[in-house]
Every structure is written in structure tokens, then in C-alpha cells.
Amino acid sequence: MRPVILDIDPGVDDALALLMAVHSPELEIIGLTTTSGNMPLDQTTENALKVLELVGRTDIPVCMGAARPLVGEARHAYEVHGAEGLGAAELPDPEAMPAGDAIDFLIEGIEARLGEVIVVATGPLTNLAMAEAKRPGILSQCRRLVIMGGVLHEPGNISPHTEFNFHADPHAARQVINSGANIALIPLEAARQLWLDQDLLEARLAGRTDALARFCAAATQTVMAFETQLYGRRGMHLHDPLAVGLSIFPALCEVKPMFIDVEPEGQLTSGQLVVDRRPFVIDDHLVGRQVECAVKVNVPGFLELFLDRLLQ
Ligand code: RIB
Ligand code: CA
């Protein structure tokens, strides 16, 4: 089993990714760290606690992290994930409480198992940046960081050239990308290859009346309505579940080494990925750090894994 820490901002696709991870025997979930992102920190934390209680996994600690980005104010995505971040799903208030500080949890969890821990980050990278600032070099002590974020050349989803997680905290994204850690990056170009058709989900849920099935049907409603309007077909992309999938079966994605950095301050471009594609450099160095960037997804393979694990 691979020890993992999920750094999340649930949010519907984070919740689906969490359920997939909980149902994957290959992963030993050491804990969850929550951050502001899709929802304010209190809500992302409550949602993480609620989803763990839904599947009877209150043994997994949930630690609260950053309530705002390193610089500037927090922004959220109510229009995508619904008023409380889990679409139309209504889960009981959690009985469990947060277990502590996310930054210390990340540092202690990684230090306890040097070179073993995979951190799957599917929200703004504020917690990871703060952990690196508090204990320089800690991210490089991970086995791998699997990060959902950024957009290479396609249109962004929060501004013309930026993706939500990197736009929400561009300084943190830049610090994590430049930390020297072993990074697998899932940009929008990869996440957008994964489309969960509403008919397929409904077919897999048909006849099921259990709480998990009811949650999945209700939670996906808001995102599917939003993306159906945006893309003209019934369904949704699976950004964050792909990050969990990649931590289980790396072969699900064809990856390509790329030198990337993140623009932290541009008035129109803060959070934009800067990819250094120069075939040669003169008198300077390639910009940014090398990451393994997901470029092609085994879509049928992933969808089968996702639905099998989600709806176990
Ligand atoms: O841009 C998509 C990403 O931003 C996903 O992780 C989604 O949950 C939001 O956090
Ligand atoms: Ca997310």
C-alpha cells in the first residue's frame, strides 16, 4: 500500500476523488488536509468530514489548512459546486472534528516516512507552499506530488489563460513547482480528456438506493448542469479523480517532461503556466523546473477504474 495525503478543497470533484481513494486498496490514506478553494476553508473541511462519515472512515484525520492564498483574498466556485460545495447532496453534520493543523500534519506525515508519501493535491497549493516555507526541502522528501492544476495552451477555466487552482494562489503554485519536488502535473488539457457522461453514471446508479449512490447522484447534479450548459452535452469532467487515478496506476497517463514555471503577478495572467519549449538556451537557463506533465489519458481504462472504485 502506498501512503498518501490528499490535499483537497471539496468541491464535488474533490469529493469524488476522495471516495475513489477510500475505495482503493492500493492506497493507505494517512490523512486529509483541507484548504480554501472551491469553498471557504470551514466548508471544505466540513465537506471532507461529511464524506468520510458517509463511507464510515472517520479513522482518517482531517487537518485544516489555509483560509486564504499567500497573497490577496480567497475566491470560490459556488456556481460550479453549489452553495455548500457538494452540489445538491445533503449529508448530516459531521460528528468528527478537525484533527489539527494541516501544515504540521504534512510536515510530520512526510518526515515520518521519508521518500514514501505521495501527496495528491487537488486544490490551491497554499498548504504545500506553507509546509515548504516552514520546513525547507520537505516536499522533496515526498515520493511524489501529484498535482491537478494549470493549463498549458487551451483556454483557461477561470480566466483566458489560467486554471482555478493555480489562479487561486499563484504564488503558492510557483513555490511548489520550484521546490525541486518530484512532481506529476495534471493540467486542464489532460483533465478535459475525461468526460463522465451523465447517462453512463445514471446507468451505473440504476436500481441503487444506498446512501453512497444517492450522494453521487445528488452531488454531481450541480456540476453536470453547469458543464452541460458550457459544453452542450450532459456530463462533467473528472479533474480531481484523475489525480487519484494517477497515484494508483501511473500508467493511466502518458507523461512528458516539461520545464514549467508559474506567473505570480501578471494583471491578466497571474497563475498562468509558463512552459519553456526552447530547443536551446543561450547565456541563461531553462525557465522553471522540470515536471512530468500528463499529456494523454487512457480514458476507457480510467473511467472503468473510477466508476468501479467510486461505486464499490
Ligand atoms: O480547475 C479545476 C480544479 O479547480 C479542480 O480541482 C476543482 O475541484 C477546483 O479545485
Ligand atoms: Ca479541487
Does the model's pTM come out above 0.95? yes
CATH architecture of 2-310: Alpha-Beta Complex (3.90)
Instruction: Determine whether the shortest distance from the Cβ of 44 to ligand 1 is under 6 A.
Output: no
Looking at all shown ligands, the one closest to residue 271's CA atom is: 1
Q: Give the model's confidence band at 38: pLDDT under 50 very low, under 70 low, under 90 confident, else very high.
A: very high
pLDDT value at 312 more than 90:
no
Nearest 5°: phi and psi at 174? -65, -45
One-letter identity of residue 80 = V
Ligand index nearest the alpha carbon of residue 150: 1
* pLDDT of 105 higher than 90: yes
Question: What's the CA-to-centroid distance between 165 and ligand 2, angstroms?
Answer: 7
110, pLDDT greater than 90: yes
* Rounded Cα–Cα distance for residues 30 and 170 (Å): 27
Would you say the CB of residue 38 lies under 6 angstroms from ligand 1? yes
Which ligand is the nearest neighbour of the Cα of 164? 1
- Tell me the pLDDT tens digit for each residue of 121-157: 999 999 999 999 999 999 999 999 999 999 999 999 9
Distance of CA 40 to the CA centre of its chain: 16
Predicted pLDDT at 284: 81
- Averaged pLDDT, 10-26: 98
Over pLDDT 70: what percentage of the chain? 100
| Chain centroid, CA 140 distance in Å | 19
Q: How many CA atoms does the CB half-sphere of 68 hold within 13 Å?
A: 5
Q: Is the CB of 13 under 6 A from ligand 1?
A: yes
Quote the CA–CA distance of 36 and 43 in Å, as a whole number: 8
Residue for cell digits 483533465? 191
Residues 6+ away with beta carbon under 8 Å from 301: 249, 252
Confidence of residue 282 (pLDDT cuts 50, 70, 90): confident
Rounded to the nearest integer, the mean pLDDT of the chain is: 97
Of all atoms in ligand 1, which is nearest to the CA of residue 240?
Answer: 6
Please report the atom of ligand 1 found closest to the CA of residue 124. Answer: 10
pLDDT tens-digit map of 170-204: 999 999 999 999 999 999 999 999 999 999 999 99
C-alpha 220 to ligand 2 mean position (Å): 14
Residues having C-beta closer than 5 Å to ion ligand 2 = 9, 11, 14, 122-123, 240
What's the CA-to-centroid distance between 243 and ligand 2, angstroms? Answer: 10
Q: Which residues are catalytic?
A: 239
Instruction: Assess whether the C-beta atom of 14 lies below 6 angstroms from ligand 1.
Output: yes
pLDDT band at 285; cut points 50, 70, 90: confident
Residue 11 Cα: closest atom of ligand 1 = 8
240 pocket-lining for ligand 1 (C-beta < 6 Å): yes
The answer, yes or no, to whether any atom of ligand 1 lies below 6 A from the CB of 37, is yes
* Top mutation candidate among 16, 20, 35, 38 for ligand 1, by most atoms within 8 Å of CB: 38
Res 94: pLDDT: 97
Does residue 13 register a pLDDT over 90?
yes
Question: Domain extents for the chain?
Answer: 2-310
What number is the average pLDDT over the span 57-67? 98
Give the integer Cα–Cα distance in Å for 69 and 270. Answer: 13
What average pLDDT does this structure show over 93-109? 97
Residue 4 has a pLDDT of 98
- If one residue of 7, 13, 125, 220 were mutated to test the ligand 1 pocket, choosing by the most ligand atoms within 8 A of its CB, it would be 13
